[in-house]
Structure 1
Amino acid sequence: MQLHFNELAQSQKRLDADQAHLIWVPSSAIVVHEVQAPKAPKRKWPELLPWMLEEKLLQAPQDSHFIIASKQGEQLTVLVTAKSQIREWQQSISSAGASNYSLLPDFLALPWHSGLISIARQEEQILVRYGELQGFAAPAELAWLMLRKLDADSVSPRGLAVCLPETDLLVDLQARVEVRHGEPDWQQAAVLPSANLLQGEFSLQQSAGMARAWLATAALLVLSIGLGFLSLHLENRQLAAEVEQLADSNRSEFYRQFPGLSIQSGNIRQTLESFISDRFRQRASLEQVGMRVLQDIDSVLSACNCSLQGLQWTAEGLELSLPLSAAERVEDWQFAAYTKQSIARADDGLTVMLRPEYD
């Protein structure tokens, strides 16, 4: 939940202790400084900054709270406010029931446009934002003077993005308006966590409610991961069973289609391709003229219940030796690609000469 500190103070609103809150605090109590990064190790910077900025502070360094909001190259953006002011804010927020919250300068709730200056009004204060983390808040008369000083330090005056009626602006500023927004939306404004004032000695201790919430979240996360692994394990087992069942089905179907062959499911495709290739070669061999003649001879001999007594290939053709019982049927015989040339009788049988048709 996001809201402005003034809204909280004026409405006496109660806040949920277990919910995270972002409180926009008055920027009039905060000063933004740009300083050169110290040459010392980074862990020493919080100790050095108070003395580097001592001459610019309105109170003693030990009474000021410093936040390094960003580092661009060798330049640091530092937010400074009085420790007593932070304690006052914390007391009011704790009285409202909140225990988990962040404090950010309210000028950071203004939309930031690169190359433009954003201006808004918060009660009697004018909020000005002129960089990602740069800005200020002041009464109107002082704010316009500070804005003119900002213009004087720039190469040329920048355009304005306003979140207030243009009639609230000075006349010469109205002509520089390039972008118009509604009033600041404290609920939806973008947040820069690095600008949270509750760092260092003011970092919040995690409340018991927060700890319980995190523990519950962590427990749910561990449980969901465990259930995910269990589900994956069960699915893997089911998939393995389906693969084994498919392999058994493949073997059963193969043995049914090709009895007498032995095969493993791993090389079923290779075996089938080899088997089918052999069958095609056998079929091609059976289509040869000589094999077709032998098939025809087998058919006619079976039809007359005769037996082949002899078969001889000669230069003239194919000579068949048959029993006399075949004499009545031999005239009707037809042979593929061969013609009967002669039939010779003898006491012990018949001799039939077949000659190829292409001769």
Structure 2
Amino acid sequence: MNDRYSRQELFSGIGKEGQQKLSQKHVLIVGAGALGSGNAEALVRAGVGKVTIIDRDYVEWSNLQRQQLYKEKDAENRIPKAVAARQRLKQINSMVTVEAITADAGVPELEKLQKGVDVIVDATDNFDTRMIINDISQKYRIPWVYGACVGSYGISYTIQPGLTPCLHCLLGSVPLGGATCDSAGIISPAVGMVVSYQSAEVLKLLTGDLDHLRNKLVTFDLWQNQHSSIYPGSLKKEECLSCGNNPTYPFLSYENQTKTAVLCGRNSVQIRPAAKGERNLEETAAMLVKTGGKVERNPFLLSYEISGRRMVLFKDGRVLIHGINDIAEAKKIYHRYLG
């Protein structure tokens, strides 16, 4: 197996010295869906010393179209994604340590998992978790690589604490998207493109080749043949509460996290988003109609039914998910359809 990484070592950007560095590094991947499984395979094949994967979900049939680590048996048996990913990754490269954690990636979990991590890879499906990752990154000075895709569109950006604007800086200045794969669909080439951008940046960070980091936010639409990149350096804000001169890491505090509660005697879960603001029910209804579910609306709320589940959305941002009292499952449904 001495020539396992020979082709990678021949590449001038890595070489034998870079390969040795990779073998000593630890990457945390948050999410084991399309981007998570793609990044995990790329990094395990590359010989990164340790890869930790955290994901709260299990494998479903609709995942197989784009989530490359999983097989039909995983969907049939509803194997947790982190577990199925580890099983496959150990078959790919037994020399890499793969840690699989089936859990929601909240503040306590990521505070614990950040220890000894060199780079964090964003493979999540929601901005609540991304903002937690962002503050963990800034607090503990760990670089992370943001990525997202939906339809034929993708976006990626590398965040280096102390050097680049963080995701909190960019909010409100850069269109970061709001549709989900369940409302707008997705094609696997878009996933592959984002994975390529992310994993390449991770390899640069791990080998210390910081001069070749992209330093730009890149977006593309493969179907529309569009590609663009912007240098967001000017968007770094001194007053940013996540990376500014006096950081407070607001998304690690309870008041800025999504609130969930089981409603007593109603077999329902209420979810209250961290970000306060009025929900546009008309726009939300138009988005949800595309999923094939049943949408009904009055001036005060929106009712949405799909796959035996019913959600009621209020103008103040609250959502009731009926027919369930499992908070983790309720959050999964919420992020699947509402982003």
TM-score range, shorter-chain basis?
under 0.3
Relative to the length of structure 1, the TM-score reads 0.21
Structure number having the greater helix percentage:
1
Indicate the structure whose relative CO is greater, using CA pairs within 8 Å and at least 6 residues apart: 2
Relative to the length of structure 2, the TM-score reads 0.22
Q: Which structure would you say has the larger Rg? A: 1
